[in-house]
Protein backbone atom coordinates (compact mmCIF):
# COMPACT_ATOMS: atom_id res chain seq x y z
CA UNK A 1 0.00 0.00 0.00
CA UNK A 2 1.32 3.43 -0.90
CA UNK A 3 1.86 6.24 1.61
CA UNK A 4 -1.21 8.32 0.66
CA UNK A 5 -3.46 5.24 0.80
CA UNK A 6 -2.16 4.30 4.25
CA UNK A 7 -2.58 7.90 5.44
CA UNK A 8 -6.26 7.76 4.48
CA UNK A 9 -7.15 4.20 5.45
CA UNK A 10 -4.91 2.62 8.11
CA UNK A 11 -6.74 2.44 11.44
CA UNK A 12 -9.67 4.30 9.88
CA UNK A 13 -12.17 1.43 9.52
CA UNK A 14 -15.86 2.38 9.35
CA UNK A 15 -17.41 2.60 12.82
CA UNK A 16 -18.66 -0.90 13.80
CA UNK A 17 -21.98 0.28 15.27
CA UNK A 18 -23.17 2.68 12.54
CA UNK A 19 -20.83 2.34 9.58
CA UNK A 20 -19.76 6.00 9.88
CA UNK A 21 -16.82 6.31 7.46
CA UNK A 22 -15.07 8.83 9.70
CA UNK A 23 -13.85 7.61 13.07
CA UNK A 24 -16.16 9.31 15.61
CA UNK A 25 -15.01 11.42 18.56
CA UNK A 26 -15.52 9.05 21.48
CA UNK A 27 -15.96 11.80 24.06
CA UNK A 28 -16.32 9.60 27.12
CA UNK A 29 -14.35 9.09 30.31
CA UNK A 30 -15.40 5.51 30.96
CA UNK A 31 -17.09 2.46 29.40
CA UNK A 32 -19.93 0.29 30.72
CA UNK A 33 -18.76 -3.28 31.32
CA UNK A 34 -20.91 -6.31 30.36
CA UNK A 35 -20.32 -8.13 33.61
CA UNK A 36 -17.78 -8.24 36.38
CA UNK A 37 -14.41 -8.79 34.67
CA UNK A 38 -15.98 -8.79 31.18
CA UNK A 39 -15.63 -5.70 28.94
CA UNK A 40 -15.09 -4.76 25.29
CA UNK A 41 -11.40 -3.90 25.65
CA UNK A 42 -12.17 -0.43 26.98
CA UNK A 43 -12.26 0.34 30.70
CA UNK A 44 -11.22 3.93 31.32
CA UNK A 45 -10.39 6.63 28.77
CA UNK A 46 -6.93 7.58 30.03
CA UNK A 47 -5.98 3.99 29.21
CA UNK A 48 -7.94 3.37 25.97
CA UNK A 49 -9.92 5.56 23.60
CA UNK A 50 -11.04 4.43 20.12
CA UNK A 51 -10.47 7.84 18.46
CA UNK A 52 -6.94 7.89 19.84
CA UNK A 53 -6.32 4.23 18.88
CA UNK A 54 -7.31 4.96 15.27
CA UNK A 55 -4.76 7.78 15.13
CA UNK A 56 -2.08 5.67 16.79
CA UNK A 57 -2.52 2.78 14.31
CA UNK A 58 -2.31 5.23 11.44
CA UNK A 59 0.86 7.00 12.63
CA UNK A 60 2.61 3.70 13.47
CA UNK A 61 2.01 2.57 9.87
CA UNK A 62 3.23 5.83 8.33
CA UNK A 63 6.55 5.73 10.23
CA UNK A 64 6.98 1.95 9.86
CA UNK A 65 6.92 1.26 13.63
CA UNK A 66 5.19 -1.48 15.64
CA UNK A 67 3.14 0.99 17.67
CA UNK A 68 2.45 4.66 18.27
CA UNK A 69 1.28 6.42 21.42
CA UNK A 70 -0.19 9.91 21.32
CA UNK A 71 0.26 12.67 23.89
CA UNK A 72 -1.13 16.09 24.76
CA UNK A 73 1.81 17.88 23.10
CA UNK A 74 5.10 17.23 21.37
CA UNK A 75 6.90 18.04 24.61
CA UNK A 76 4.73 15.57 26.56
CA UNK A 77 5.73 12.92 23.97
CA UNK A 78 9.43 13.78 24.38
CA UNK A 79 9.14 13.90 28.20
CA UNK A 80 7.51 10.46 28.23
CA UNK A 81 10.24 9.09 25.93
CA UNK A 82 12.93 10.33 28.32
CA UNK A 83 11.11 8.42 31.11
CA UNK A 84 12.44 5.24 29.49
CA UNK A 85 15.66 6.28 31.26
CA UNK A 86 16.57 6.49 34.93
CA UNK A 87 18.50 8.81 37.17
CA UNK A 88 22.23 8.74 36.35
CA UNK A 89 21.76 8.09 32.62
CA UNK A 90 23.42 10.30 30.01
CA UNK A 91 21.89 11.46 26.71
CA UNK A 92 23.65 12.91 23.65
CA UNK A 93 21.49 15.54 21.94
CA UNK A 94 21.64 17.51 18.66
CA UNK A 95 23.06 20.91 19.54
CA UNK A 96 20.49 23.17 17.96
CA UNK A 97 17.45 21.22 18.95
CA UNK A 98 14.03 22.83 19.41
CA UNK A 99 14.18 25.42 22.23
CA UNK A 100 11.42 23.75 24.25
CA UNK A 101 13.24 20.40 24.14
CA UNK A 102 16.42 22.10 25.37
CA UNK A 103 14.46 23.76 28.20
CA UNK A 104 12.81 20.45 29.17
CA UNK A 105 16.19 18.69 29.31
CA UNK A 106 18.13 21.48 31.06
CA UNK A 107 15.55 23.03 33.39
CA UNK A 108 13.43 20.00 34.27
CA UNK A 109 14.98 16.60 33.60
CA UNK A 110 18.43 17.56 34.89
CA UNK A 111 16.76 17.96 38.31
CA UNK A 112 15.90 14.25 38.15
CA UNK A 113 19.50 13.14 37.61
CA UNK A 114 19.63 12.86 33.83
CA UNK A 115 22.70 14.33 32.14
CA UNK A 116 22.83 15.81 28.64
CA UNK A 117 25.63 16.63 26.17
CA UNK A 118 24.89 18.72 23.09
CA UNK A 119 26.86 17.97 19.94
CA UNK A 120 26.75 18.78 16.24
CA UNK A 121 25.03 15.68 14.86
CA UNK A 122 25.91 16.49 11.24
CA UNK A 123 29.07 14.41 11.99
CA UNK A 124 28.73 11.07 13.80
CA UNK A 125 32.27 11.41 15.16
CA UNK A 126 30.94 14.13 17.49
CA UNK A 127 28.46 11.61 18.92
CA UNK A 128 31.22 9.03 19.29
CA UNK A 129 33.46 11.53 21.11
CA UNK A 130 30.67 12.41 23.56
CA UNK A 131 29.99 8.78 24.58
CA UNK A 132 30.32 7.91 28.26
CA UNK A 133 29.88 4.68 30.21
CA UNK A 134 26.44 5.86 31.28
CA UNK A 135 25.24 7.04 27.83
CA UNK A 136 21.89 5.36 27.16
CA UNK A 137 20.25 7.43 24.42
CA UNK A 138 21.07 9.62 21.43
CA UNK A 139 18.39 12.22 20.68
CA UNK A 140 18.62 13.67 17.18
CA UNK A 141 16.51 16.38 15.62
CA UNK A 142 16.85 16.60 11.85
CA UNK A 143 16.73 18.94 10.06
CA UNK A 144 17.60 21.16 13.01
CA UNK A 145 15.53 24.17 13.88
CA UNK A 146 16.02 26.79 12.51
CA UNK A 147 19.36 26.27 10.68
CA UNK A 148 18.16 23.17 8.79
CA UNK A 149 21.32 21.14 9.39
CA UNK A 150 20.91 17.49 8.35
CA UNK A 151 22.16 14.88 10.83
CA UNK A 152 24.23 11.97 9.60
CA UNK A 153 21.41 9.58 10.49
CA UNK A 154 22.88 6.59 8.68
CA UNK A 155 26.22 6.65 10.54
CA UNK A 156 24.63 7.56 13.87
CA UNK A 157 22.10 4.72 13.42
CA UNK A 158 24.94 2.23 12.80
CA UNK A 159 26.82 3.52 15.83
CA UNK A 160 23.86 3.37 18.24
CA UNK A 161 22.81 -0.06 16.96
CA UNK A 162 26.32 -1.46 17.40
CA UNK A 163 26.49 -0.09 20.97
CA UNK A 164 22.93 -1.03 21.95
CA UNK A 165 21.93 2.60 22.60
CA UNK A 166 18.47 3.94 21.80
CA UNK A 167 18.38 6.35 18.89
CA UNK A 168 15.45 8.76 19.13
CA UNK A 169 14.70 11.06 16.18
CA UNK A 170 12.45 14.12 16.30
CA UNK A 171 10.98 13.98 12.77
CA UNK A 172 8.59 16.93 13.16
CA UNK A 173 10.13 19.00 10.34
CA UNK A 174 10.03 16.40 7.57
CA UNK A 175 7.03 14.26 8.56
CA UNK A 176 7.07 10.57 7.56
CA UNK A 177 6.15 11.62 4.03
CA UNK A 178 9.73 12.80 3.37
CA UNK A 179 11.78 10.95 6.02
CA UNK A 180 11.28 7.70 7.90
CA UNK A 181 14.09 7.53 10.48
CA UNK A 182 13.38 3.88 11.42
CA UNK A 183 14.71 2.95 7.95
CA UNK A 184 18.04 4.50 8.98
CA UNK A 185 18.38 2.85 12.37
CA UNK A 186 16.18 4.90 14.70
CA UNK A 187 14.50 2.98 17.54
CA UNK A 188 11.98 5.68 18.36
CA UNK A 189 10.52 8.55 16.34
CA UNK A 190 8.80 11.50 18.02
CA UNK A 191 6.72 14.27 16.51
CA UNK A 192 4.96 17.38 17.53
CA UNK A 193 1.72 16.52 15.68
CA UNK A 194 0.92 20.22 16.18
CA UNK A 195 2.94 20.89 13.01
CA UNK A 196 2.74 19.01 9.68
CA UNK A 197 0.83 15.92 10.83
CA UNK A 198 -2.21 17.91 11.91
CA UNK A 199 -1.26 20.62 9.44
CA UNK A 200 -4.03 23.14 10.09
CA UNK A 201 -2.74 25.08 13.11
CA UNK A 202 -5.73 24.11 15.24
CA UNK A 203 -4.49 21.49 17.69
CA UNK A 204 -1.57 20.68 20.01
CA UNK A 205 -0.36 17.10 20.21
CA UNK A 206 2.56 14.69 20.11
CA UNK A 207 3.37 11.09 19.24
CA UNK A 208 6.00 8.48 20.07
CA UNK A 209 6.47 5.73 17.48
CA UNK A 210 8.48 2.68 18.51
CA UNK A 211 10.35 0.13 16.42
CA UNK A 212 10.41 -2.69 18.96
CA UNK A 213 7.68 -4.10 21.15
CA UNK A 214 9.55 -3.76 24.49
CA UNK A 215 9.83 0.01 24.02
CA UNK A 216 6.23 0.12 22.76
CA UNK A 217 5.00 -1.70 25.90
CA UNK A 218 6.93 0.62 28.19
CA UNK A 219 5.75 3.79 26.38
CA UNK A 220 2.17 2.44 26.56
CA UNK A 221 2.64 1.80 30.28
CA UNK A 222 4.00 5.35 30.76
CA UNK A 223 1.20 6.88 28.68
CA UNK A 224 -1.28 5.45 31.17
CA UNK A 225 0.87 5.77 34.31
CA UNK A 226 1.96 9.38 33.70
CA UNK A 227 -1.25 10.35 31.92
CA UNK A 228 -0.19 13.09 29.48
CA UNK A 229 -2.73 11.79 26.93
CA UNK A 230 -4.19 13.51 23.88
CA UNK A 231 -7.92 14.30 23.91
CA UNK A 232 -10.47 12.52 21.66
CA UNK A 233 -11.20 15.80 19.85
CA UNK A 234 -7.53 16.48 19.09
CA UNK A 235 -7.17 12.85 17.97
CA UNK A 236 -10.05 13.45 15.55
CA UNK A 237 -8.46 16.64 14.18
CA UNK A 238 -5.12 14.93 13.60
CA UNK A 239 -6.83 11.89 12.01
CA UNK A 240 -8.46 14.34 9.63
CA UNK A 241 -5.24 16.30 9.01
CA UNK A 242 -3.15 13.23 8.25
CA UNK A 243 -5.50 12.17 5.44
CA UNK A 244 -4.14 15.05 3.33
CA UNK A 245 -0.53 14.78 4.54
CA UNK A 246 0.78 13.51 1.18
CA UNK A 247 -0.79 16.25 -0.95
CA UNK A 248 0.06 18.95 1.57
CA UNK A 249 3.71 17.89 1.86
CA UNK A 250 4.10 17.81 -1.93
CA UNK A 251 2.84 21.40 -2.10
CA UNK A 252 4.92 22.59 0.91
CA UNK A 253 7.95 21.15 -0.88
CA UNK A 254 7.14 22.73 -4.25
CA UNK A 255 6.50 26.13 -2.65
CA UNK A 256 9.53 25.75 -0.34
CA UNK A 257 11.90 25.18 -3.26
CA UNK A 258 10.57 28.24 -5.11
CA UNK A 259 10.68 30.54 -2.07
CA UNK A 260 14.22 29.35 -1.20
CA UNK A 261 15.34 30.05 -4.77
CA UNK A 262 13.78 33.51 -4.66
CA UNK A 263 15.46 34.33 -1.33
CA UNK A 264 18.85 32.98 -2.47
CA UNK A 265 18.81 35.44 -5.40
CA UNK A 266 17.57 38.42 -3.37
CA UNK A 267 20.10 41.25 -2.81
CA UNK A 268 18.82 41.97 0.74
CA UNK A 269 19.31 38.35 1.83
CA UNK A 270 22.81 37.31 2.93
CA UNK A 271 22.30 33.61 3.42
CA UNK A 272 19.53 31.02 3.01
CA UNK A 273 19.29 27.80 4.99
CA UNK A 274 17.29 25.23 3.00
CA UNK A 275 18.45 21.65 2.36
CA UNK A 276 17.07 21.73 -1.17
CA UNK A 277 19.59 24.38 -2.29
CA UNK A 278 22.76 22.97 -3.88
CA UNK A 279 24.88 25.29 -1.68
CA UNK A 280 23.42 23.79 1.53
CA UNK A 281 26.34 21.99 3.27
CA UNK A 282 24.39 18.70 3.58
CA UNK A 283 22.43 18.94 0.33
CA UNK A 284 23.64 15.57 -0.99
CA UNK A 285 22.92 13.84 2.29
CA UNK A 286 19.45 15.39 2.35
CA UNK A 287 18.80 13.98 -1.12
CA UNK A 288 19.87 10.54 0.05
CA UNK A 289 17.87 10.46 3.30
CA UNK A 290 14.76 12.36 2.26
CA UNK A 291 12.38 12.30 -0.68
CA UNK A 292 11.74 16.05 -0.45
CA UNK A 293 12.94 19.12 1.46
CA UNK A 294 9.67 20.49 2.81
CA UNK A 295 8.68 24.05 3.57
CA UNK A 296 11.01 25.22 6.36
CA UNK A 297 13.50 27.95 5.44
CA UNK A 298 15.66 30.31 7.51
CA UNK A 299 17.41 33.33 6.06
CA UNK A 300 19.90 35.92 7.26
CA UNK A 301 18.98 39.57 6.82
CA UNK A 302 22.15 40.92 8.49
CA UNK A 303 20.69 42.82 11.45
CA UNK A 304 17.87 43.00 13.96
CA UNK A 305 16.60 46.15 12.21
CA UNK A 306 16.41 44.37 8.85
CA UNK A 307 14.74 41.31 10.38
CA UNK A 308 12.25 43.58 12.14
CA UNK A 309 11.46 45.38 8.89
CA UNK A 310 10.67 42.07 7.18
CA UNK A 311 8.61 40.74 10.10
CA UNK A 312 6.67 43.99 10.53
CA UNK A 313 5.90 44.45 6.84
CA UNK A 314 4.67 41.06 5.67
CA UNK A 315 0.90 41.00 5.26
CA UNK A 316 0.13 37.49 3.99
CA UNK A 317 2.65 35.63 6.17
CA UNK A 318 1.51 35.73 9.80
CA UNK A 319 4.09 36.67 12.43
CA UNK A 320 3.74 33.67 14.70
CA UNK A 321 5.55 30.81 16.39
CA UNK A 322 4.87 27.29 15.18
CA UNK A 323 5.08 25.82 11.70
CA UNK A 324 3.70 23.17 9.40
CA UNK A 325 0.25 24.63 8.83
CA UNK A 326 -1.42 25.34 5.49
CA UNK A 327 -0.80 29.07 6.04
CA UNK A 328 2.65 30.66 5.79
CA UNK A 329 4.08 31.69 9.17
CA UNK A 330 7.12 33.84 9.75
CA UNK A 331 9.12 34.20 12.98
CA UNK A 332 12.24 35.53 14.67
CA UNK A 333 14.02 32.54 16.29
CA UNK A 334 16.36 34.60 18.53
CA UNK A 335 13.49 36.29 20.38
CA UNK A 336 10.69 33.74 19.87
CA UNK A 337 11.30 29.98 19.56
CA UNK A 338 14.90 30.12 20.83
CA UNK A 339 14.56 32.85 23.47
CA UNK A 340 15.21 30.27 26.21
CA UNK A 341 18.57 29.29 24.66
CA UNK A 342 21.40 31.35 26.27
CA UNK A 343 22.74 34.18 24.06
CA UNK A 344 26.28 32.73 23.71
CA UNK A 345 24.82 29.37 22.71
CA UNK A 346 22.56 31.06 20.13
CA UNK A 347 25.54 32.91 18.65
CA UNK A 348 27.52 29.65 18.36
CA UNK A 349 24.59 28.03 16.52
CA UNK A 350 24.18 30.89 14.03
CA UNK A 351 20.85 32.00 15.50
CA UNK A 352 21.66 35.69 14.99
CA UNK A 353 19.39 38.68 15.59
CA UNK A 354 19.08 39.04 11.80
CA UNK A 355 17.82 35.49 11.24
CA UNK A 356 14.23 35.04 10.04
CA UNK A 357 12.44 31.70 9.79
CA UNK A 358 9.57 30.99 7.46
CA UNK A 359 7.22 28.03 7.40
CA UNK A 360 6.10 28.15 3.78
CA UNK A 361 2.41 27.34 3.50
CA UNK A 362 0.42 25.99 0.59
CA UNK A 363 -1.03 29.26 -0.69
CA UNK A 364 -0.24 30.24 -4.30
CA UNK A 365 3.52 30.58 -4.22
CA UNK A 366 3.48 33.80 -6.29
CA UNK A 367 1.55 35.47 -3.46
CA UNK A 368 4.02 34.28 -0.81
CA UNK A 369 6.97 35.53 -2.88
CA UNK A 370 5.30 38.91 -3.58
CA UNK A 371 4.67 39.35 0.16
CA UNK A 372 8.30 38.59 1.09
CA UNK A 373 9.60 40.76 -1.76
CA UNK A 374 7.56 43.77 -0.64
CA UNK A 375 8.68 43.33 2.99
CA UNK A 376 12.35 42.90 2.00
CA UNK A 377 12.24 46.20 0.06
CA UNK A 378 11.65 47.89 3.45
CA UNK A 379 14.66 46.18 5.05
Ligand X SMILES: *Cc1c(COP(=O)(O)O)cnc(C)c1O
For 91, 101, 164, 337, the CA distances from 181, given in Å and listed in that order, are: 18, 19, 17, 24
The reply to whether 145 sits near ligand X by the rule CB under 6 A is yes
Q: Is residue 170 a contact point for ligand X (CB under 6 A)?
A: yes
Q: How far is the CB of 321 from ligand X (least distance, A)?
A: 8
By C-alpha distance, which of 358, 147, 363, 173 is closest to 255?
363
Question: For ligand X, what does the binding mask look like between residues 74 and 113, x meaning CB under 6 A?
Answer: xx----------------------x-xx------------
Measured distance CA(261)–CA(143) in Å, rounded: 19
- The residue within the footprint of ligand X, chosen from 7, 204, 311, 358 (CB under 6 A), is 204
Query: Residue 324: helix, strand or coil by DSSP?
Result: coil
Residue partners of 354: CB distance under 8 A and separation at least 6: 270, 300, 301, 302, 303, 304, 306, 307
Query: Which is closer to ligand X, CB of 206 or CB of 361?
Result: 206
Q: Could you tell me if 206 and 77 are in contact, meaning their C-beta atoms sit under 8 angstroms apart?
A: yes
Residue 143 as a binder of ligand X (CB under 6 A): the answer is: no
Query: Is 195 assigned a catalytic role?
Result: yes
Exposed/middle/buried for residue 267 (C-beta within 10 Å: 0-12, 13-18, 19+): exposed
**Continuous segment of H or E residues that includes residue 331:** strand 329-331
Examine residue 353 and tell whether it contacts ligand X (CB under 6 A).
no
* Residue of the chain from 12, 49, 51, 73 that contacts ligand X (CB under 6 A): 73
| SS3 label, residue 293 | coil
Could you count the other beta carbons within 10 Å of the beta carbon of residue 169?
31
- How far CA 71 is from CA of 93, 205, 231, 239, in Å, comes to 22, 6, 8, 14
Q: For this structure, is 250 an active site residue?
A: no
Cβ atoms of 182 and 64 closer than 8 Å = yes
Q: Does 192 bind ligand X (CB under 6 A)?
A: yes
Answer yes or no whether residue 58 interacts with ligand X by CB under 6 A: no
Residue 98 falls in the annotated catalytic set: yes
218 among known catalytic residues? no
Q: Quick one: which segment of 105-113, 165-173, 252-260, 274-282 binds ligand X (CB under 6 A)? A: 165-173
Q: Which of 6, 166, 180, 195 is catalytic?
A: 195
Between 23 and 75, whose beta carbon lies closer to ligand X?
Answer: 75
Considering beta carbons, is residue 63 or 170 the nearer one to ligand X?
Answer: 170
195 binds ligand X (CB under 6 A): yes
Phi and psi at 240, nearest 5°, equal -65, -45
Find the shortest distance in angstroms from Cβ 337 to ligand X.
8
Among 194, 251, 255, 331, binds ligand X (CB under 6 A): 194
By CB under 6 A, is residue 206 in contact with ligand X? yes
Using the contact rule CB under 6 A, the part of the chain among 59-67, 72-80, 218-226, 312-320 near ligand X is 72-80
Identify the active-site residue in 95, 152, 170, 187: 170
CB of 353 to ligand X, least distance (A): 21
In sequence order, the β-bridge partners of residue 139 are: 93, 168
Residues catalogued as catalytic: 46, 98, 170, 195
Interface with ligand X (CB under 6 A): 73-75, 98, 100-101, 141, 145, 170, 172-173, 192, 194-195, 204, 206
Amino acid sequence: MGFATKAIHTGQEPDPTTGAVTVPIYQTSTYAQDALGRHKGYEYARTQNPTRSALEKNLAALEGGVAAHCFASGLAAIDTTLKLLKSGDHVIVSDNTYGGTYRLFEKVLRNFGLDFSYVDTTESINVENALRDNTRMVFVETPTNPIMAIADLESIGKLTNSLGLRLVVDNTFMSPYFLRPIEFGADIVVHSTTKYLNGHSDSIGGVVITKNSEDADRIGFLQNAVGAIISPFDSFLINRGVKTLAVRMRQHDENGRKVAGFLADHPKVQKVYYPGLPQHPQHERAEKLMTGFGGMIAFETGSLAAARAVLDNVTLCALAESLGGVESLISHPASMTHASVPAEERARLGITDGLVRISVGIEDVEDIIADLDAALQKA
